Structure 1
Amino acid sequence: MYEAVILYVLAATEILKEGKNITNGTAVTHKMWNRTFEGMTGNVSINSNGDRDADYALMDMNPKTGIFEIVAMYYGATKQFVDIDGKEIHWPGGRQGPPPDTPPCGFDGSECPETPRYAIFTGILTGLLIVLTILSLFIYRHYKFEAEIASMSWRIKQEEVVINPSFKRHFGSKMSFTKFSGSNSLSCGSLTLGDQSRQIFTKTAYYKSTLVAIKPVNKSKIEINRQFLLEIKKMKSLQHHHIARFIGACVDSPIPFLITEYCPKGSLLDILENDQIALDWMFRYSLTHDIIKGMAYLHGSEVRCHGNLKSSNCVVDSRFVLKITDFGLHSLRVYEENVDSYDYWRRKLWTAPELLRMPNQFNEGTQKGDVYAFAIIAHEIVAREGPFYLGIPDVSPKEIVENVKHGQKPPFRPYLEEEVCNKEIEEMIQRCWAEDPTERPDFQALKSVIRKLNKDNESGNILDNLLSRMEQYANNLETLVEERTADYLEEKRKAEDLLYQLLPRSVASQLIHGESVTAEAFDTVTIYFSDIVGFTELSAESTPMQVVDLLNDLYTCFDSIIENFDVYKVETIGDAYMVVSGLPVRNGTFHAREIARMSIALRNTVMSFTIRHRTNEQLKLRIGIHTGQ
């Protein structure tokens, strides 16, 4: 209805611009033909007959799962039939293609002469041979499948995994792993841009000289049954550019653990929470596109869905390619269920409302639930304010989860500012976290949406995309180095200024340049020493802060005056003020003159000086001078 109204408005507008009568239905109709415009569901194309060139999805039932899957797309505007990668049509009877439009002998058999008996006999034998061949192939595949399961190639011995000794205590005293080349093989850390080779974001180890990520299983013993073996085989068969590779599992350890591909840049959550990493919109679209491609592959595989998708389960490798991890094997991914803990409720921030309302926890999740989790992650990428940012402080994860679960109207969702992202991204996120799961698009449909926003990052231009990502990372490093250098220079200047205030400039300069300071003797100098008359009685009758204000005002005034003379202030102790002339820079016989003139200036200043808390009282200064050679 929306697109029909838009089409009519476009045609009627042209009629009015041409000065024609809008009530002429024929003229308006002809203006609707041969037209293409952007509608709610994408491009809308009307051909010369007034028919819409619609897009169609060809769906085929997967015989293994009994579920219909999209295997091809027909685009009406371009008249193209495009196969979906990794999908095939299961034709009846084991055919490799569609049947002919017309049977070879026609629909009634009139196109073929009567078949001789020997041909019938030959056909029967051929059919039996084909059936036997298919049956043999089926049996072979069955035994091959069972042999692969029984081989347990995923099983890794604990001796093959090299773990840092500092973490052996987490795996029990029975672990007899050795240290790998003196390096830290298993550790945890945060993002450190200065030294890429030491970036460790999760527990790691070395397996066959390759750094891998390990995830301890919160179970003392793993039951290896057929269901478990089938899940493991599904995990091992996944091979995709945006899926973290599952390597195997060690089930012989006191605390079993899974081994997966290690991505040195950390999780998406690590990157988004690091303010030192600048992410332009091309970079953000690229990360979002990687998630969509990885999840589209995962949903089309035997695993079917993730069930625990969140930003901490999206990891980034050394080439800034995002990969999905921590999927499958849900029976092993068990958390400590402390319903009063912060972590328990925080883990549910990415859970769809329909799953929160289930009485029993559904670990496997659903595909529509994964789309909802993707919307929360996409909002994290856009806002960079953490998961489920609401724009208001002091909202606990438990309150957020309860509000989402109760299904408010409008639905309780993160705060999405219109000026932060463009309209397409905002609409995509809102569709993905819709309250009704049937209104959420699938990841195949999201591919076309993000592809329009990320035209410069097509999969056919991987090298340019990689170079662009590495250039962005290098720019981040340069900016960080500049900021750190500026901070260092500022702190260095402050330290030097403080040193110049404490020591003579010549002595301070020698210390700054790392030179040794040699003691000197000055034969001809004049020393000035003064104190406040009656300071003891004045202090006894004043508060500590009043005394501090008095001395601060007085000596700030003195310091500004002595700058006009060739003198050096030695120190101030209490109400005592000590100044010398003739050092550290010798001035011949002028030292006495400089001190005398300075003393007169200070005395004149004291005559007009006002004490804050005793404005009617005159301050008196006692001055002493000693000069000699």
Structure 2
Amino acid sequence: MNEWKLSYNRITVPTKEMEKKSQSHRSLQSGPSTFTSISAFDGEDSIFKVALLDNDPILITRHPPTLLSDSCHNDCVKLRKLDHDNVNKFLGLSFDGMDYVVVWRLCSRGSLLAMLSKSVISTDSFFVQCIIRDVAEGLNYIHHSFIGYHGRLTSACCLLTDTFQVKICDYGMSELTRISEMKFKLWSAPEELNSPTSSNTKAGDVFSFAIIAAETISRRPAWQIYGESMNVEDIVARIKKGGAIPLRPHLQHDISDVPPELVALVRNCWRENSLNRPSMDFICEQMKELMNSGGHTNLMDHVFAILEDHTTSLEQEVEDRSKELMEEKKKADILLSRMLPRQVAERLKLGQSVEPEGFDSVTVFFSDVVKFTILASKCSPFQVVNLLNELYGSFDAIIEEHHVYKVESIGDGYLCVSGLPLRNGHEHIKEIVEMSVRFMEYVESFKIASLPREKIQLRIGVNSGPCVAGVVGLSMPRYCLFGDTVNTASRMESNGKPGKIHLTESSFKLLEEHYGDSYDTESRGDVIIKGKGVMETFWVHGRRDRDWDTGMHSSVIRERSRVSDKHESTG
């Protein structure tokens, strides 16, 4: 009989230190904390606080001490026995502390008012109808119980379980003193505001229900639409005043998905004359008809159906995004492979360091556009950029057909290498020479759009030998070549002639030894090379018996080259 009497010693109200410890503990475990729901009741509009009853989470309201009648004691016994899906469980009353404390079962998602104020979730029409139906069913149960009415119904005392079921709370216990804040009078009926003696009626509850339903339909606190133009006192005064067109919440915003019958029902519930408001029995019957016409009657079934559709949509979206991600990854890999050799790029992506590596035999290529400065002076900057883009874009396409790595292009200069980072035996000389021949063939037919009468000529230098390669830089890493082989190849280019492929003796011997039958070569003779002294160098005129210019026989080409060299030496 006295189960409702609770000792205050059994109740623990969490402090900030306890909350911090709980949050710290929760970060170290996957299970929920005792204080998981504290934040749901932290708002200034909450009339409840989360506490513990023998280490079980509960909700409490505090009240100033007062003398309770025997009737109130009997009511507490009856309140413990109330049981309905939409009425929150009364657990008991503690009156041996400094305040009287009413204890209720915890609803983890907080109040309906908090949910609407924070726009925590996206709701559809069926969700809205379920919320309103739950409030109606709970209030109807209270109207048919020994309590008879609620008397202070607001969306702040409509609590939500983890399954979004509404449970009405803070009912009964009419002898306890409550601090009546002005903001909670926004749910009060006009007759209750004007005459305290006519308060606590079922018709007043119906008016409060209408305000809650309007909030749920518009997905926001009912009087929020008036914003700063009217404060709480102004709104309460307008409700009390009444008149031919009394002040009521707006229902014109975002309600296109709500049945018009529900909107009409809400408007009937907040009529100025309390005698014209429907009963909760009638309201519940109307809600049942509305819900049955929609197909679903259970909110969680509806939520699961939505989640299933959402899951399917998310799976498709994830698949699409994954495809997009793979495409972007491919683009990034392609871009990275143009900046660094693929093997080097893969190691960098894995976070591995790339140590400098020595190579015994590679072939280095340098090229330069002859008289590029003169050509550039005849073009605008945009035309120069377009010229180089078109020319080097075609060169890059040729490079991709050979085992050659493009190290860099600076202005009109071009640096390539074969034989690293993947060693290819002695094939590097063939790859570089064949690429050089292709370059020469291409520029013979290349037309400068802005200078149709001008011709592009290349000067190419090639050298073979050992070198060291490695990645230099962090923010903008570059794969660089080091060694005398690179310097000598550069000298071959600068000491070459327009339209000529200039080889060192080391490159010539490698080419002749392995591919002598494939290419037409000729000794240029001894040439003084800056920093190197006298060197015998060689020309590559093209593939055997074929020149990249007009297809002339190689003997003709050699004779022209010999006469030209003789003329230079005598000059």
TM range (shorter): 0.5 to 0.7
| Change over 3 Å in CA distance of 1:235–1:381 after alignment to 2 | same
Amino acid at match of 1:434: R
**Which range moves more in the overlay, 154-163 or 444-453?**
154-163
Between stretches 254-263 and 318-327, larger displacement belongs to 254-263
The letter for the 2-side match of 1:429 is: V
1:231 Cα deviation from its structure 2 partner: 6.6
* Residue in structure 1 matching 2:33, options 184, 198, 201: 184
Instruction: Work out which of the residue numbers 208, 211, 225 in structure 1 matches 2:67.
Output: 225
Of stretches 413-422 and 264-273 in structure 1, the one that deviates more from structure 2 is 264-273
Is 1:427 aligned to residue 264 of structure 2? Answer: yes
Distance, in Å, in 1 between the alignment partners of 2:399 and 2:173 is 82
What residue in structure 2 maps to residue 590 of structure 1? 431
Partner Cα distance (1:557, 1:356) in 2: 85
What residue number does 2:157 align with? 313
How many percent of aligned residue pairs carry the same amino acid? 21
Distance 1:237 1:152 in 2: 11
- Within the candidate set 284, 308, 315, 1:475 is matched to 308
Letter in 2 for 1:524: V
Residue deviations 1:18-64 (CA, integer Å, cap 9, x gap): xxxxxxxxxxxxxxxxxxxxxxxxxxxxxxxxxxxxxxxxxxxxxxx
- 1:107-506 mapped onto 2 (5 Å cutoff): 151=2, 153-159=4-10, 161=12, 166-167=17-18, 184-188=33-37, 204=50, 207=53, 210=56, 212-215=57-60, 217=62, 222-226=64-68, 229=73, 232-233=76-77, 235-250=79-94, 258-268=102-112, 281-329=125-173, 331=176, 334=179, 350-352=186-188, 354=190, 358=194, 366-383=201-218, 385-388=219-222, 395-396=227-228, 398-399=230-231, 402=234, 405-406=237-238, 407=242, 409=245, 411-416=247-252, 419-455=256-292, 465=298, 468-469=301-302, 471-472=304-305, 474-475=307-308, 478=311, 482=315, 485=318, 489=322, 493=326, 497-498=331-332, 501-502=335-336, 504=340, 506=343
The 3-state SS of whatever aligns with 2:6 is: coil
- Could you tell me which amino acid in structure 1 is paired with residue 34 of structure 2? S
Aligned-partner Cα distance in 2 for 1:395–1:433: 21
CA distance in 1, matches of 2:440, 2:117: 61
Taking the aligned partners of 1:452 and 1:593, their CA distance within structure 2 comes to 85
* Structure 1 residue matching 2:227: 3-state secondary structure: coil
Partner of 2:473: none
Determine which structure has the larger strand proportion and give its number.
Answer: 2
CA distance in 2, matches of 1:224, 1:472: 51
Question: Is contact 1:164-1:184 (8 Å) kept?
Answer: no
Q: Which residue of 2 aligns with 1:524?
A: 362
Distance change >3 Å, CA 404–CA 415, structure 1 → 2: farther
SS at match of 2:159: strand
Q: Is the Cα–Cα contact under 8 Å of residues 407 and 417 in structure 2 kept in the other structure?
A: no
> By how many angstroms is 1:472 displaced?
3.4
The unaligned stretches of length 5 or more in structure 2 are 22-28, 41-47, 374-380, 452-458, 466-571
Question: Which residue of the partner structure matches residue 530 of structure 2?
Answer: none
- The corresponding residue for 1:143 is none
Supply the distance in 2 between the matched residues of 1:397 and 1:492 (Cα, whole angstroms): 49
| Equivalent position amino acid for 2:105 in 1 | E
Spell out the pairing of 1:502-581 with structure 2 (5 A cutoff).
502=336, 504=340, 506=343, 524=362, 564-566=397-399
Give the Cα separation in 2 of the matches to 1:558 and 1:328.
88
Following superposition, the deviation at residue 374 of structure 1 comes to 2.3
CA distance in 1, matches of 2:13, 2:309: 34
1:244 Cα deviation after fit: 0.7
CA distance in 1, matches of 2:395, 2:100: 76
Work out whether residues 215 and 259 of structure 1, in 8 Å CA contact, stay in contact via their aligned partners in 2: yes
- Listed one character per residue, the Cα deviations across residues 60-107 of structure 1 (whole Å, up to 9, x for unaligned) are xxxxxxxxxxxxxxxxxxxxxxxxxxxxxxxxxxxxxxxxxxxxxxxx
**Residue deviations 1:251-300 (CA, integer Å, cap 9, x gap):** 56678754322234554456668989665544443332221110111233
RMSD: 6.0
How many residues are paired up? 419
Task: Please tell me the residue identity of whatever aligns with 2:249.
Answer: R
- Relative to 1, partners in 2 of residues 1:412 and 1:243: Cα closer, same or farther, differing over 3 Å? closer
Q: Which amino acid aligns with 2:167?
A: K
* Matched residue type, 1:373: S
Q: Distance in 1 between matches of 2:409 and 2:191?
A: 73
- Structure 2 counterpart of 1:154, one-letter code: K
Q: Distance in 2 between matches of 1:369 and 1:576?
A: 88
- Contact 2:214–2:249 (CA<8 Å) still a contact in 1? no
CA contact (8 A) 2:60 2:101 kept: yes
TM-score by length of 1: 0.49
Q: Partners of 2:389 and 2:98 in 1: how far apart? A: 71
User: 1:556-588, CA deviations, whole angstroms, 9 ceiling, x for partnerless residues?
Assistant: 989976763536777899x99997565667784
Residues 312 and 527 (structure 1), Cα distance of their counterparts in 2 relative to 1, 3 Å cut: farther
Quote the Cα distance in structure 2 between the aligned partners of 1:442 and 1:166. 48
User: Partners of 2:437 and 2:198 in 1: how far apart?
Assistant: 89
- Contact 2:87-2:169 within 8 A present in 1 as well: yes
The TM-score with structure 2 as length reference comes to 0.53
Residue deviations 1:350-409, cap 9 Å, x none?
Answer: 52462795498x9976533432332233234434x322388x7x8348458735742573
Q: Distance in 2 between matches of 1:240 and 1:526?
A: 87
Q: CA-to-partner distance for each residue in 1:500-542, whole Å, 9 max, x for gaps?
A: 6456555555676x695765666636577999x99xxxxxxxx
AA paired with 1:158? Answer: N
**Cα shift at 1:447:** 1.4
